[in-house]
């Protein structure tokens, strides 16, 4: 049994209920819209975010309508953000397939993303829970804030580790935190436990993004996106930030010049990636990911000890050990 299958095992019935309803959420009598949405759903990944929402709820109570519609809302919000991100980044591939903007146009991708975002907000209202609605509205603001912060720091060779961590907290980790928060809110968990759930989700999300950024420094078709993309887009992530911060000399000067001049030929991309490897950047990123892994595990210590908590432990192992 795979890691992801083990994680799903205690919530199979709830996930099936989620899937049954989720597949109908984006149905439309607009043929173009319907085709886009069907295409998006076909490449939908592991659904880690609804899994986290449902696990967090079931850890303390029975999964209910508020749980499921909170999970719908967050998964739709995530989906809309990916469709929009591919337009912003001019990305032509998503999970090994053409992105929506590549298969259709930027206009279709933006409008489809807007529709999915509206469906997300509508799903949130079905929970009839003001705190859930507030949490989802808040993360809806935080995600683009993080993306804009990253955009403002593109090609900044002096980007600090603290700034990088702030960016990935906003653009990735806080969505994970909101998933576990919404799960807890849907079953009226106490505030102390809710805080543990939120911090667990946040630290798990930090692991997820650092791992994603590490992938960019490897040649691997399983990753589901072209490697070297972040470097090519001028986005400095932790491996390169560390390598630049901890080296001096002509090689560093050459790398900085490539970035400053946006000289991102294939040969130069390979040099930059190798520079990060050779100067301990990838190893350091792995060590920082493992720091957040321990922090996530620690947040589970005071929560109910049952098969659901075991699945939450396995989520951390899956995120940090995955090779795609």
pLDDT by position in tens, the chain (length 324): 677 889 999 999 999 999 888 877 777 888 898 888 888 887 667 789 999 999 999 999 999 999 999 999 999 999 989 889 888 877 887 777 888 899 899 999 999 989 999 999 999 999 999 999 999 999 999 999 998 998 888 777 778 999 999 999 999 999 999 999 999 999 999 999 999 999 999 999 999 999 999 998 987 544 444 467 788 888 899 999 999 999 999 999 999 999 988 888 889 998 999 999 999 999 999 999 999 999 999 999 999 999 999 999 999 999 999 876
Q: Residue 94's beta-bridge partner residues? A: 97
Q: Which residues contact 106 (CB under 8 A, 6 or more apart)?
A: 87
Instruction: Enumerate domains of the chain plus CATH numbers.
Output: 3-321 (1.10.600.10)
DSSP structure string for 237-284: -HHHHHHHHT--SHHHHHHHHHHHTT---HHHHHHHHHHHHHTTHHHH
DSSP structure string for 118-175: HHHHHHHHHT--HHHHHHHHHHHHHHHHHHHHHHHTTT-TT--HHHHHHHHIIIIIHH
Q: Which residues contact 8 (CB under 8 A, 6 or more apart)?
A: 15, 51, 311
Q: What's the whole-model pTM score?
A: 0.93
- Quote the DSSP letter at residue 104: S
How far lies 269's CA from each of 246, 250, 275, in Å? 20, 17, 10
**Contact status, residue 246 vs residue 285, Cβ threshold 8 Å:** no
Give residue 154's pLDDT: 79
**Contact status, residue 147 vs residue 110, Cβ threshold 8 Å:** no
**C-beta atoms surrounding 121 within 10 Å:** 16
């Amino acid at each position: 049994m795979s890691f992801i299958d083990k994680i799903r095992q205690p919530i199979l019935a709830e996930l099936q209920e989620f899937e049954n309803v989720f597949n109908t959420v984006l149905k439309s009598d607009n043929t173009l819209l319907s085709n886009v949405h069907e295409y998006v759903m076909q490449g939908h990944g592991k659904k880690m975010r609804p899994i986290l929402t449902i696990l967090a709820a079931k850890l303390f109570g029975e999964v209910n309508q508020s749980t499921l519609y909170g999970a719908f809302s967050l998964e739709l919000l995530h989906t809309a953000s990916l469709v929009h991100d591919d337009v912003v980044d001019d990305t032509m591939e998503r999970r090994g397939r053409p992105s929506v903007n590549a298969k259709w146009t930027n206009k279709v991708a933006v409008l489809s993303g807007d529709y999915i975002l509206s469906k997300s907000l509508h799903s949130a209202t079905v929970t009839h829970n003001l705190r859930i609605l507030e949490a989802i509205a808040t993360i809806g603001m935080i995600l683009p804030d993080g993306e804009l912060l990253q955009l403002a720091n593109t090609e900044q060779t002096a980007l600090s580790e603290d700034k990088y961590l702030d960016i990935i907290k906003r653009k990735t980790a806080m969505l994970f935190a909101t998933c576990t928060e919404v799960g807890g809110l849907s079953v009226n968990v106490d505030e102390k436990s809710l805080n543990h759930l939120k911090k667990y989700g946040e630290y798990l999300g930090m692991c997820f993004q650092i791992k994603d950024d590490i992938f960019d420094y490897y040649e691997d078709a399983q990753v589901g996106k072209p490697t070297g993309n972040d470097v090519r887009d001028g986005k400095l992530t932790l491996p390169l930030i560390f390598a630049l911060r901890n080296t001096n000399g002509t090689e560093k000067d050459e790398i900085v010049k490539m970035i400053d001049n946006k000289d991102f030929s294939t040969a130069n991309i390979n040099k930059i990636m190798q520079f990060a490897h050779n100067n301990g950047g990838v190893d350091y990123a792995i060590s920082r990911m493992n720091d957040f892994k321990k922090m996530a595990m620690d947040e589970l210590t005071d929560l109910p000890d049952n098969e659901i908590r075991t699945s939450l432990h396995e989520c951390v192992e899956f995120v940090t050990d995955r090779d795609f």
